[in-house]
A = this chain, B = another copy of it.
Amino acid sequence: MLKSTYEGQNCSIASALEVVGERWTILVIREAFLGTRRFDDFQRNLGIARNVLQTRLGRLVDEGILERRPYQDRPVRHEYRLTEKGIDLFPVLHALRFWGDRHSGGEPPVIVRHRGECQGVIDDRRICETCGAEVSAREVVATAGPGYVPRPERAA
């Protein structure tokens, strides 16, 4: 059960924001959707301070949005994977992306497409423009759009 710190708020939007309302938190979740799993990769891709990242990842694990799984024994190393609850945030990120694209004044850096053979563009209702399928998070793939700029390389 989510705890709300908003006095007198009986609202699902308020409870959702209580968990995911912080900006870096959403960007960590976006990275996880793009396939990032390891601490150092989150850190490099987001350019976020290690202590801030550690706090955000810990909070997301506590809230059941990410889970921490060992991927190596000696020494033990963990990676972070989206849970079902985390994957259920796909519509929120998709809606944010559409709004950002429409109002940024630039070309979209990312186009979300139907995974596999179809490759149709996914519309703002998460429906494939090519085959009409109502797609889930697992059926899409993020591809470079006309506004894509490769990430600057960082020193390892």
Contact = CB atoms under 8 A, between A and B. Distances in A.
A109 B47 contact: no
Interface string A1-30: 110001111111111111001110011001
Contact of A23 (B21, B85, B98): B21
A14 B101 CA distance: 11
A32 interface: no
Please tell me how many copies of the chain the complex holds. Answer: 2
A156 interface: no
Interface string A42-55: 00001100000000
A12 B91 contact: no
Contact of A8 (B9, B47, B98, B103): B47
Contact of A6 (B47, B103, B152): B47
Contacts of A147: 10
Contacts of A96: 12-13, 16-17, 92
A119 to B, nearest CB: 20
B99 A88 contact: yes
Given A11-B100, A13-B100, 5 more contacts: A9-B27, A11-B30, A12-B109, A13-B30, A91-B98
